[in-house]
Structure 1
């Protein structure tokens, strides 16, 4: 039941946006055993050099001109190994499908209690 936000620079083709979306989702399916139909995403385009800010170098990682930001809000309870698998799965898939540099993929995971989710009608299926 993750909610995924993917932010990228404007100008990507529909095929690229679809590949971004699918790469992150398939990594979630693989690493977190998310059901295939548990697919809630928000993709946001930003004007080049205006909406996304990042340093050229941070923690010894040299960033290129274009970063992809992936923020995932998910229920708590995954192990560190599952999280590592997710992060590596995302960067590997994006590198292979879009040729993105692994250094240019920023990932943030936010964990919440299962009771904090409603998928419609105001219902709380996990409360």
Structure 2
């Protein structure tokens, strides 16, 4: 049950949050193998100036910033996580979101760190 948090510009949120949510969820199904009904997403739209970033950090031509935080149980090998990252940016590109403008962080913890409505 990955928990997804998305930080993005308010205008992008208003225009495309449903499609962005679908893109991320579809990437999870494909790359992480989650069930289709395992969807937990929190969108946090930000006003102009609230998302701070260096436009050239690490040699990337960054123009905007869309941050995706993923919290998941530790169970995915590195290759699977990398496939997930690629699947996300591949699905966001047709929405006009440049892969250079996406930052994804996947943090893992144990099964004992979760409660999802029942034990």
- TM-score, with normalisation over the residues of structure 1? 0.89
Cα separation, 1, equivalents of 2:14 and 2:113 = 32
Task: Determine which structure has the larger helix proportion and give its number.
Answer: 2
Structure with higher Rg: it is 1
Conservation of the 8 A alpha-carbon contact between 2:13 and 2:45: no
Aligned residues: 119
Which ranges in structure 1 are unaligned for 5 or more consecutive residues?
none
Residue 13 of structure 1 deviates from its aligned partner by 5.7
3-state SS in 2 of match to 1:6: strand
* 1:79 has 2:77 as partner: yes
Given the superposition, is the C-alpha separation of residues 43 and 13 from structure 1 closer, same or farther in structure 2, using an over 3 Å criterion? closer
Cα separation, 2, equivalents of 1:10 and 1:52 = 10
* 1:52 has 2:51 as partner: yes
Residue 12 of structure 1 deviates from its aligned partner by 2.9
Counterpart position of 1:32? 32
Which ranges in structure 2 are unaligned for 5 or more consecutive residues?
none
Over the aligned positions, Cα root-mean-square deviation in angstroms equals 1.2
Cα separation, 1, equivalents of 2:105 and 2:37 = 22
